[in-house]
Structure 1
Amino acid sequence: MSDIASTPPRGKGNIARALELDTRLLGMIGALVVVCLIFNFLTDGRFLTPRNLFNLTIQTVSVAIMATGMVFVIVTRHIDLSVGSVLATCSAVMAMTQTRWLPEALGLDIGNPAIFWITVIVGIATGIVIGALHGWLIGYLTIPAFIVTLGGLLVWRNVAWYITSGQTIGPLDASYMKLGGINGTLGVQWSWIVGLIACATALLALFSARRNKLTHDHPVKPLWAEFSLGALICGGILGFIAILNAYEVPAARLRRIFEARGETLPEGYTEGYGLPISVLLLIAIAIAMTIIARRTRLGRYIFAFGGNPDAAELSGINTRLLTVKIFVMMGILCAISAMVASARLANHSNDIGTLDELRVIAAAVIGGTALSGGVGTIHGAILGALIMQSLQSGMAMVGVDAPFQNIVVGMVLVIAVLVDILYRKRMGDRT
């Protein structure tokens, strides 16, 4: 009852086993690579350009953030069909807060530093209230989560419409829009610094885990496997940073930036965007959710409840309060996703978050979260979101119509569930 899949035993001549890599994770990475290569071929090399990969990452963030919360929801044998509508309501509340309510009530003009922080607090509070309401209806009134969140899908989408009177609200605060991606990046130098810190942290975690195993006389990987795994992780991190840094700021934008500072753009000067703040936010959330899943009592209770609800309740776990906590967490993540989504668009629109519930559930399931409960991974859900966004972006670049894109997404979801059933049956037969 943990958020990590069962690790195959080590054996000679098998690199994956020696490195203790999850075969399902390797399969997902392989599927992502295949999808990218196919679309790169179909688009004459345009899919794997730094510009498209940069856009792909910032487009994935909103769904990926919610997918980390959906893992906990599905692990506990519930479902949340309302995430897209909750995102829309949070987005509407935050848009109205910074453009209408704060200027009218407190006289705070756009650009005031207080607007950003008040907006964030109001948005997260909205997500908490909605999540707590859902959790109370499900946990204490025992209404099935499917019914509660299906009703929420209809209710909150139209609440968002009434809050804004059906209007597009914008432009949004400049500080707020830094959460959207292109308007908020770390730049080349700071991106490399963050990448190096991430590598050092990953290596420290690997060898700290090895030392702890040796201290308790547990079996460990051979040293060559430890170094190889560390090299793979650092290579992936630094390669990702290099790709983002390779996307250069257009000359016209650079010229405007220099002119705003009263300077002249030097001849031949170039500058990369670097790591988006929204991606950094996703990484922080992923780390926090992983720590909750693996290192906290709440995480143990969540996976214990998902593995066997009756046994969890008999063992003294307050399953009703646990349900409320899970949906409050989901509401908070929907609010954060609303910040990222509306900041990327630079406004709140009526269709924001439409069909996100499908994408979020598909991301979690593709990432290995079992609909039967008890099993799921945070990193798998994020990878699932990246696969889904790669499919949609690739189809859009090829010229596939939007309705057919949704058909493909629906088919992928069904196939992912089928693969999950076959995989778990095979693993069960082995044991």
Structure 2
Amino acid sequence: MNAQTQRLAVMAAVLVAIAIGFHALTGSFLTAENLYNIAQQTAVVGIVASGMALIIVARQIDLAVGSLLGAVGVLMAWLQYTQGWSVGASLLAGLAFALLIGLFQGWLSAVIGIPSFVVTLGGLVSLRGAAFLIADGKTQPVTEPGLLALGGGLDGSLGERGSWLLGAALIALIWGWQLVQRRALVRAGGTPDGKAGLISGVLGTLAVIAVVAVFNAYRIEGQEQGQGLPLPLVIWAAVVIVLGFIARHTRFGRYVYAIGGNPDAARLAGIPVRRVMIQLNLLLAALVALAAVVAMARLNAGTNSMGTGMELTVIAAAVIGGVSLAGGSGSVAGTVLGALIIQSIDSGLLLTDVSIGWRMVVLGQVLVAAVVFDRVVQK
């Protein structure tokens, strides 16, 4: 078991301990309803955190993701409600706006050489102002049922049958990927660790079955069938799977880790550092646009306050999940645990009637503790 896997195991154990502890205190933390709500509430942060992980791995930072989400969300809602655009056209316009901002910030950082901290700090302020100016600070409601389903809610889930079908597909993917890795290792002349692969596959299978069973157990009053997997969770899972594959099994992903490990050596080795950095910014911008769609659907509206303070939560999720602020190490999968740990702590404190002030204090110190743990591991 390598260091990254060990760290993920530790974070998973911490998450389980948090859940058990809060359930002992409240008696309601591990109920299907609360877990369903936690999954929905975490999805927006988790989608952005998966892209932020790669940004931090490459020794960069983006402080403007929350403001960009607000600007994109209110733009899409404003185009639908005030300007009468179709849902598809408004979503494409929001994506184009996000990509334009990502390209501009990436160009300033990678080509001009301005530190990403400075560039995105300016974006944090400017884009929040843009979010206000787009609709003059007015809330823009959205009513398209298909769009609202993406935010979860009564009609925003797969249902019991759909959830089991998706679960079966994920289990097949887990074992199929184990087989692909085993064959690749044999072709390379290595000796597969059958025991480790078996344990990994069994744990993954049990995790999928447990998640589907829990969400199917959540039934809204008056409905015979369980809700099943909420669509925000499905979208988040798809993002993590795709980005995880890109990070670990593509040339682009190897370039990102090489740049984070030593930018000068990566440049001398012929890696197009500037191009990769711009592509990273575009990737994160696209994920922010996707998260804005989910957030807008959850709120049934676009508001200029969407995403306020989210940049810190996203960075915290990445760091708690094992991404080193020094760059060069970390994983997309770790951000899932990081985001769930943050949301679980916040939800647990809320259930125990802790005031918002103390919740903020605790969450801030959790981030500090994660950074301290990262430094200890590095040493």
Indicate whether the TM-score tops 0.5: yes
Summarize the alignment of residues 167-316 of structure 1 with structure 2, pairs less than 5 Å apart: 167-182=138-153, 183-222=155-194, 224-251=195-222, 254=223, 270-316=224-270
Q: Give me the CA root mean square deviation.
A: 1.5
Contact 2:80/2:142 (<8 A) preserved: no
1:119 deviates by: 2.4
Contact 2:71/2:304 (<8 A) preserved: no
| Structure-1 residue corresponding to 2:31 | 49
CA distance in 1, matches of 2:188, 2:115: 44
202-211 or 134-143, larger mean C-alpha shift: 202-211
1:216 deviates by: 3.0
343, 349, 352: which is aligned to 2:297? 343
| Structure-2 residue corresponding to 1:120 | 91
CA distance in 2, matches of 1:389, 1:99: 32
78, 87, 104: which is aligned to 2:69? 87
1:285 deviates by: 0.9
**Amino acid in structure 2 at the alignment position of 1:7:** N
1:133 deviates by: 1.0
| Structure-2 residue corresponding to 1:97 | 79
CA-to-aligned-CA distance 1:375-426 (integer Å, 9 cap, x gap): 110000111011111111111121111122121111111110000110121x
CA distance in 1, matches of 2:199, 2:117: 44
| Structure-1 residue corresponding to 2:18 | 35
CA distance in 1, matches of 2:197, 2:53: 29
Distance of aligned partners of 1:400 and 1:101 in 2 relative to their CA distance in 1, 3 Å threshold: same
| TM-score normalised by length of structure 1 | 0.85
Matched, 1:389 2:360: no
2, 7, 13: which is aligned to 1:7? 2
CA distance in 1, matches of 2:61, 2:185: 37
1:101 deviates by: 1.5
1:351 deviates by: 2.2
1:215 deviates by: 3.3
Contact 1:80/1:149 (<8 A) preserved: yes
**Amino acid in structure 1 at the alignment position of 2:109:** I
CA distance in 2, matches of 1:424, 1:415: 14
1:325 alignment partner, SS class: helix
CA distance in 1, matches of 2:324, 2:198: 32
**Amino acid in structure 2 at the alignment position of 1:215:** R
| Structure-2 residue corresponding to 1:69 | 51
| Structure-1 residue corresponding to 2:307 | 353
CA distance in 2, matches of 1:174, 1:226: 43
Contact 1:116/1:175 (<8 A) preserved: no
Contact 1:32/1:387 (<8 A) preserved: yes
1:74 alignment partner, SS class: helix
CA distance in 2, matches of 1:147, 1:35: 36
1:225 deviates by: 4.2
361, 364, 379: which is aligned to 1:407? 361
Distance of aligned partners of 1:408 and 1:195 in 2 relative to their CA distance in 1, 3 Å threshold: same
| Structure-1 residue corresponding to 2:332 | 378
CA distance in 2, matches of 1:48, 1:31: 15
Contact 1:368/1:376 (<8 A) preserved: yes
Contact 1:71/1:376 (<8 A) preserved: yes
283-292 or 239-248, larger mean C-alpha shift: 283-292
CA distance in 1, matches of 2:187, 2:330: 29
1:229 deviates by: 2.6
CA distance in 2, matches of 1:368, 1:7: 13
CA distance in 2, matches of 1:122, 1:398: 42
CA distance in 2, matches of 1:134, 1:218: 43
CA distance in 1, matches of 2:368, 2:124: 21
137, 141, 144: which is aligned to 2:108? 137
Q: Whose Rg is larger?
A: 1
1:344 deviates by: 0.9
Q: Say how many residue pairs are matched.
A: 378
User: Structure 2: where are the runs of 5+ without partners?
Assistant: none
CA distance in 2, matches of 1:226, 1:63: 30
1:46 deviates by: 0.8
2:60 alignment partner, SS class: coil
Contact 1:81/1:153 (<8 A) preserved: yes
Contact 1:60/1:389 (<8 A) preserved: yes
Contact 1:87/1:353 (<8 A) preserved: yes
CA distance in 2, matches of 1:139, 1:171: 37
1:228 deviates by: 3.1
Matched, 1:163 2:117: no
